């Protein structure tokens, strides 16, 4: 059997295969972050297409933590019923589902919201954020905790903290965006403190036997920004608080993206896996099932994220199996469409 289609145990869940839909914002929530029929159809289709683990798009733990006013939210109990439907449809069609808890910080594009960040340094041409006070840090950490409480009630299988792509957690981690002189800035340990507190707060609600993932940008593409060795140090400082897996990405702080050749972020997944001893989700412009299989066989990643290719083709897992060793049973309704 192809490794891509072998099961993977992560704390109290077993994934049926190694294919992950990474978080991809759809920017089409209803007013105030509510789930729409689109989300049920969109995520349900990927579950039906055979994805092992779906990680729902960045979902705001605070109203001001959204990127746009069409993001999904989990800052209020009114979000729970819609998210419950979304989770149910994914599980009914055989996938496990996680939620990415996010806060945009200075990358919030909603002009009437209050922009907060570790330091008042603007992102590109957006307005200048306000430097967060200690009280605000406690507030936001608590918002992640409340998000985790709701996620448990809703029935998610996994929580992922959005710690990459230049959003709030990443703004604390990076020496480019964090110029604080208190215990949240300066040394790696200090820059990692906010993330550590978020992990601890989530773990007060999210039982240790349930998997907790962090998405990180292992390379920021700035000489004086974070590089894989810095990210490894940060993970190693906090992993014993209950971090189970790292979803390895890169970029998003401000710098131009690197050349996106196929599989371009797998090398960061490999470095993070070896440097932390934790399992990793790796990927980056992967289209070919053979490339995904090779990354698993060479133990550079434990799970593979397939982003835009799963947007183009929600049945990618079914066809990937066909291309590899053709062992999957297709869903009853689609059986007659299986290639010979
Ligand atoms: C439109 C769009 C929205 C995205 N939204 C998120 C997000 O909410 N959270 C996140 O961590 N990454 C997000 N990403 C990044 C993807 O998860 C993924 O890392 C990226 O698309 C690279 O993988 P791919 O080359 O397989 O598409 C987004 C990417 C795109 C194209």
Task: Provide the residue ranges of all domains of the chain, joining segments of one domain with +.
Answer: 15-324
Overall CATH class of domain 15-324:
alpha beta
195 pairs with which residues across the strands? none
Distance 73 CA to ligand 1 centre (A): 18
The whole-model pTM stands at: 0.98
The reported pLDDT for the residue numbered 150 is 99
Tens digits of pLDDT across the chain (340 residues): 999 999 999 999 999 999 999 999 999 999 899 999 999 999 999 999 999 999 999 999 999 999 999 999 999 999 999 999 999 999 999 999 999 999 999 999 998 998 999 999 999 988 999 999 999 999 999 999 999 999 999 999 999 999 999 999 999 999 999 999 999 999 999 999 999 999 999 999 999 999 999 999 999 999 999 999 999 999 999 999 999 999 999 999 987 777 789 999 999 999 999 999 999 999 999 999 999 999 999 999 999 999 999 999 999 999 999 999 999 999 999 999 999 8
The torsion angle over the Cα atoms of residues 187, 189, 195 and 200, rounded to 10 degrees, is -150
- Rounded to whole angstroms, the Cα distance separating 205 from 200 reads 9
User: pLDDT value at position 199?
Assistant: 99
- Spacing, Cα 307 to ligand 1 middle (Å): 6
In the block, residue with structure tokens 């929530």: 29
CB-CB neighbours of 6 under 10 Å? 13
**Protein residue whose Cα sits closest to atom 11 of ligand 1:** 23
Mutate which of 20, 21, 23, 99 to test ligand 1's pocket (most atoms within 8 Å of Cβ)?
Answer: 23
């Amino acid at each position: 059997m192809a490794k891509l289609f072998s099961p993977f145990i992560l704390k109290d869940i077993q994934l049926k295969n190694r294919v992950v839909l990474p978080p991809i914002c759809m920017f089409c929530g209803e007013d105030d972050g509510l789930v729409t029929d689109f989300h049920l159809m969109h995520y349900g289709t990927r579950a039906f297409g055979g994805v092992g683990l779906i990680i729902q798009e960045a979902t705001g733990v605070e109203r001001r933590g959204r990127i746009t006013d069409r993001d999904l939210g989990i800052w209020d109990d009114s979000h729970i019923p819609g998210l419950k439907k979304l989770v149910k449809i994914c599980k009914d069609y055989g996938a496990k589902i996680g939620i990415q808890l996010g806060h945009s910080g200075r990358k919030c594009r909603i002009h009437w919201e209050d922009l907060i960040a570790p330091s008042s340094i603007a992102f590109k041409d957006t307005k200048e954020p306000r430097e967060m006070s200690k009280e605000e840090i406690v507030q936001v950490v608590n918002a992640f905790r409340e998000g985790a409480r709701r996620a448990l009630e809703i029935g998610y299988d996994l929580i992922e903290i959005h710690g990459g792509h230049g959003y709030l957690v990443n703004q604390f981690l990076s020496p480019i965006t964090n110029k604080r002189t208190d215990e949240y800035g300066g040394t790696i340990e200090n820059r990692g403190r906010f993330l550590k507190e978020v992990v601890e707060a989530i773990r007060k609600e999210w039982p240790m036997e349930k998997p907790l993932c962090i998405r990180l940008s292992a390379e920021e593409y700035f000489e004086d920004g974070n590089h894989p060795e810095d990210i490894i140090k940060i993970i190693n400082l906090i992993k014993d608080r209950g971090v189970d897996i790292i979803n390895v990405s890169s970029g998003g702080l401000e710098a131009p993206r690197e050349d996106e050749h196929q599989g371009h972020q797998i090398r960061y997944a490999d470095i993070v896996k070896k440097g932390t001893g934790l399992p990793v989700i790796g990927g980056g412009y992967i289209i070919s099932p053979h490339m995904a299989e090779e990354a698993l066989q060479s133990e550079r990643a434990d799970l593979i994220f397939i982003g835009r290719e799963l947007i183009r083709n929600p049945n990618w897992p079914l066809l990937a199996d066909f291309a590899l060793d053709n062992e999957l049973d297709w869903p009853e309704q689609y059986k007659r469409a299986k290639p010979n």
